[in-house]
Amino acid sequence: MAQVIDGKQVAACVTAGVSEATVALKLQTHVTPGLAVVIVGNDPASHAYVKAKSKMAKQCGFNSFQHSLPRETTQDQLEELVARLNADSTVHGILVQLPLPKHLDAEPVISAISPAKDVDGLHIVNAGKIATGDLSTGLVSCTPAGAMLLVKRIHGKDLSGLNATVIGRSNLFGKPMALLLLAANATVTVAHSKTKNLASVCRDADILVVAVGRPQMVKADWVKRGATVIDVGINRVLVSDSDSGKSRLVGDICYDEIAQVAGAITPVPGGVGPMTIAMLMANTVIAAYRSVGEVEPKF
Ligand code: GUN
């Protein structure tokens, strides 16, 4: 049976470190880290994520500023809010929850965020720093940073000699994840919807990271015996043997059968999910330290 990687526990270690760093910063400089979260429209799943982020920010001792904008918000209004938050010295981190309603273009909104406050790590400056191997002066995108911490729990910091395959090539996850694995010396393959013989590409992987957004797509016979499998998917599916319309969360892998083959595996829920929020808190406290020229904590 695979070792189950407890994302909740690792996330709790990270947020405990964030809280300590927050106390120290307040003592030394009287600065309280401030996180502004912007959400546009009424998507219930997005509102649930934003609520969780605001709650955790308060638990870490931050000032939490939530801006809930109506669905009809224009591109200009959204970019004006971002400009105000950039100029606000009590705000150290800005996150615009994605996806935005269809009439809004996310790319110029993300570009409008000051890179130093881009705690999502999505600005082209931060994405470029990861791409050039500079992991220390920018802000690293939260979900790949969190998934990478889980990989390091199993394999340590140096992935020399290990094959890592990432399925998915999004800017939000797949690309930065592949770059972080590469920076840790793994031999990296990025697979996607146009990849031929996906199962055999996956079978080469010592570390298999799956972010496809399709419930239980990856099967046990795609997985090398003893591999580490990181499941980034969060899919709500109906419980099949019930007429009640009840649903449950599943990842992108067939968890039960892969747990028989893998060496280590992340569950859904309780794997990568909690890490995303923890790394957002880590990025925010790092941004606050940098804003006053203090040496930042490491996570
Ligand atoms: N929507 C789903 N995941 C994320 C994320 O990590 N950041 C933002 N901004 N929106 C998201």
CA 96 to ligand 1: nearest atom: 9
**CA–CA distance, 257 with 54 (Å, rounded to integer):** 36
Is 182 touching ligand 1 by the criterion CB < 6 Å? no
Are 72 and 119 found together in one domain?
yes
Helices (H) and strands (E) counted in the chain, each on its own, are 10, 11
Pocket residue to mutate for ligand 1, from 40, 98, 110, most atoms within 8 A of Cβ: 98
DSSP 3-state assignment of 271?
coil
- Mean pLDDT of the residues in the chain: 97
Do 119 and 196 lie in a common domain?
A: no
Residue 17 lies in a domain: no
Cis peptide before 297 (omega within 30 of 0): no
- β-partners of residue 40 are 69
pLDDT of res. 216 = 98
pLDDT for 210-255, tens place per residue?
999 999 999 999 999 999 999 999 999 998 766 678 899 999 999 9
User: Tens digit of pLDDT for each residue in 109-165?
Assistant: 999 999 999 999 999 999 999 999 999 999 999 999 999 999 999 999 999 999 999
Compute, in angstroms, the gap from residue 284 CA to the centroid of ligand 1. 15
Q: Which ligand 1 atom sits nearest the alpha carbon of residue 143?
A: 6
- Please give the tally of structural domains in the chain: 2
Q: Distance from CA of residue 230 to its chain's centroid?
A: 13
Q: Given this model, what pLDDT does residue 281 score?
A: 98
Mutate to test the pocket of ligand 1, among 40, 53, 85, 95 (most ligand atoms within 8 A of CB): 95
Tokens 């067939």 sit on residue: 254
Query: Is residue 184 over pLDDT 80?
Result: yes
Nearest Cα to Cα of residue 281 among 46, 9, 61, 39: 61
CB of 209 closer than 8 Å to CB of 150: no
- 249 shares a domain with 155: yes
Which residues, other chains included, contact 103 with Cβ-Cβ below 8 Å and sequence gap of 6+? Answer: 75
Are residues 153 and 247 part of one domain? yes
**Ligand 1 centroid to 261 CA: how many Å?**
31
Ligand 1 near 127 CB (within 6 A): no
CB of 230 closer than 8 Å to CB of 253: no
Same domain, 76 and 191: no
276 Cβ inside 6 Å of ligand 1: yes
For residues 47 and 111, membership in a common domain is answered with yes
121 and 196 both lie in a single domain: no
175 vs 166: CA distance, rounded Å = 9
What pTM was computed for the model? Answer: 0.96
Q: Answer whether 179 contacts ligand 1 (Cβ < 6 A).
A: no
Task: For residues 29 and 74, give the distance between their C-alpha atoms in angstroms, rounded to a whole number.
Answer: 38
Q: Tell me the CA–centroid distance for residue 173 and ligand 1, in Å.
A: 10
Residue 299 domain-assigned?
A: no
Is 118 touching ligand 1 by the criterion CB < 6 Å? no
Half-sphere exposure of 176 (CA within 13 A, CB side): 27
Residue 2 in domain: no
Nearest residue (by CA) to ligand 1, atom 1, is: 98
Q: Which domain holds residue 259?
A: 142-268
Q: CATH number of the domain that 78 lies in?
A: 3.40.50.10860
**Angle separating helix axes 272-291 and 44-59, nearest 10 degrees:** 50
Which helix (H) or strand (E) covers residue 235, if one does? strand 235-238
Residues pairing with 236 in the sheet = 249
Regarding whether 160 and 96 lie in a shared domain, the answer is no
- Looking at residue 244, its pLDDT comes to 75
DSSP one-letter code for 269 = S
% of the chain residues with pLDDT over 70: 99
Phi then psi for 67, rounded to 5 degrees? -115, 105
Inter-residue contact 177 to 189 (CB < 8 Å): no
98 Cβ closer than 6 Å to some ligand 1 atom: yes
* CA–CA dist 233, 211 (Å, integer): 6
> Is 19 within the bounds of a domain?
no
Same domain, yes or no: 91 and 147: no
Q: Is 142 in the pocket of ligand 1 (CB under 6 A)?
A: yes
Is the CB of 280 inside a 6 Å radius of any atom of ligand 1? no
Rounded Cα distance between 171 and 111, Å, is 14
Kindly state if the Cβ of 259 falls inside 6 Å of ligand 1. no
Question: Which amino acid residue places its CA nearest to atom 8 of ligand 1?
Answer: 97
Question: What are the residue numbers of the active site?
Answer: 53, 97, 120
Query: What DSSP string describes 189-213?
Result: EEE-TT-SSHHHHHHT-SEEEE---
Whether residue 33 has a cis bond before it, omega within 30° of 0: no
Residue 242 has what pLDDT?
A: 62
Measured in Å, residue 163 CA sits from the centre of ligand 1 at: 28
Which atom of ligand 1 approaches the CA of 98 most closely? 10
